[in-house]
């Protein structure tokens, strides 16, 4: 899924700002190279440009159908939950292959990302048709990145990372995110992380990051459900006015941020912790079956072979004993007297 690269929140602000500026300049250079694209018979690989409403798409001929469909979808659904309709111009650059995608987003973007948003410069870089199967639905990915830009347009850098990513997933209706939690044993063992811990997990490996996206989505969804009449609109308006998420939560929902965090942790653990435990127990059971069943089959085969050998040995011994008895009769040997046939005389 995508990621927003923006100015740092709470830490690393200056360094991240410098990186964002450099990436924005690099992307701007690419954009300028395609400002006046003219595709002729001798320039089939020249970049193309599409301008519609507040969107500009820059792409190569191989990505034309994708670019047109994404821009049409963005125009048709250009509103986001709880936010005023965005007005800022957005530039979409679609990379024709993974190599150019990595060049345009820079070395600091995660390897697993399918798209990256640059809120400060209002640009989005996406992988095109060359994206892998794990890149997801491009329409959902583009919607996710547009939500980052819409949130930044209204709130600037006020939102923490977990809310930024959770809101983007919430806006794109990425309901499949919950699948990452249904079989996550960490929720059973360690419990649901705090919001501060969740912020750092977006910068870890792909598996941890996907879990973080799912948890962030659930947190934003739960926050929106606290006001069924207005959703997030009153919360956003208060947040912008107060410039404080803590005060916005207090004034809108009548609870502290710590209380909401605890409530979210409890509900997440209650909802997914049991599923994770059952899922992992089932997985462990399957693993045991994979290990134990072959061993059981091998042992059963060995026991059958051993029993067959014993039966054969008994048969051979019985035949040998019978033949020995016949030979004794032929020689005229007296059979040994049994103890039951013996009589003892006693003097009278």
* Separation between Cα atoms, residue 239 and residue 190, nearest integer Å: 31
Domain spans of the chain, in order of start: 1-35+45-157, 176-291
Q: Give me the pLDDT at residue 150, please.
A: 98
> Span 30-45, mean pLDDT?
44
Residue pair 144/2 in contact (Cβ under 8 Å)? The answer is yes
Q: What is the pLDDT of residue 124?
A: 97
What confidence tens digit (pLDDT) does each residue in 174-224 have? 988 777 676 565 565 667 899 999 998 888 878 888 889 999 999 999 999
Split at pLDDT 50, 70, 90, the class of 285 is: low
Rounded CA-CA distance 4/155 in Å is 14
Q: pLDDT-based confidence at 316, cuts 50/70/90?
A: confident
239: Cβ contacts below 8 Å, ≥ 6 apart = 155, 158, 245, 248
Domain 1-35+45-157 has CATH 3.40.30: yes
Instruction: Tally DSSP H helices, then E strands, for the chain.
Output: 13, 6
Letter string b/e over residues 297-329, b meaning 16 or more CB atoms within 10 A of that residue's CB = eeeeeeeeeeeeeeeeeeeeeeeeeeeeeeeee
The H or E element spanning position 13 is helix 13-33
Cα four-point dihedral sign 317, 318, 320, 324: positive
The larger pLDDT score, comparing residue 184 to residue 82, is at: 82
pTM across the whole model: 0.70
**Assigned token pair, 172:** 């794109």
In this predicted model, what pLDDT tens digit does every residue of 127-171 receive, in sequence order? 998 787 778 899 999 999 999 999 999 999 999 999 999 999 999
Tell me the C-alpha distance between 56 and 92, whole Å.
6
């Amino acid at each position: 899924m995508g990621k927003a690269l923006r100015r740092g929140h709470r830490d690393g602000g200056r360094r991240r700002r410098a990186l964002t500026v450099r990436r924005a300049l690099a992307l701007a250079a690419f954009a300028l190279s395609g400002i006046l694209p003219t595709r002729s018979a001798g320039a089939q690989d020249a970049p193309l440009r599409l301008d519609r409403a507040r969107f500009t798409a820059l792409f190569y001929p191989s990505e034309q159908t994708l670019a047109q469909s994404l821009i049409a979808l963005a125009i048709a659904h250009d509103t986001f939950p709880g936010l005023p309709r965005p007005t800022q111009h957005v530039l979409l650059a679609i990379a024709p292959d993974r190599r150019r995608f990595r060049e345009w987003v820079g070395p600091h973007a995660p390897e697993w990302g399918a798209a990256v948003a640059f809120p400060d410069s209002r640009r989005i870089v996406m992988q095109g048709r060359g994206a892998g199967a794990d890149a997801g639905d491009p329409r959902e990915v583009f919607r996710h990145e547009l939500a980052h830009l819409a949130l930044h347009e209204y709130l600037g850098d006020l939102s923490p990372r977990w809310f930024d990513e959770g809101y983007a997933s919430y806006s794109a209706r990425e309901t499949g995110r919950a699948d990452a939690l249904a079989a996550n044993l960490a929720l059973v063992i360690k419990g649901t992380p705090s919001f501060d811990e969740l912020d750092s997990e977006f910068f870890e490996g792909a598996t941890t990051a996907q879990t973080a996206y799912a948890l962030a989505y659930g947190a934003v969804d739960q926050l929106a459900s606290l006001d069924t009449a207005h959703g997030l609109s009153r919360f956003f308006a208060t947040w912008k006015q107060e410039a404080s998420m803590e005060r916005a939560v207090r004034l809108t929902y009548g609870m502290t941020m710590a209380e909401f965090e605890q409530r979210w942790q409890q509900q997440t653990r209650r909802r997914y912790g049991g599923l994770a435990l059952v899922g992992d127990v089932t997985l462990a059971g399957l693993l045991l079956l994979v290990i134990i069943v072959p061993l059981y089959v091998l042992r059963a085969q060995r026991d059958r072979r051993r029993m067959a050998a014993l039966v054969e040995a008994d048969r051979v011994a019985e035949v040998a004993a019978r033949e020995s008895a016949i030979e004794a009769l032929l020689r005229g040997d007296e059979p040994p007297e049994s103890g039951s046939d013996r009589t003892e005389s006693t003097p009278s």
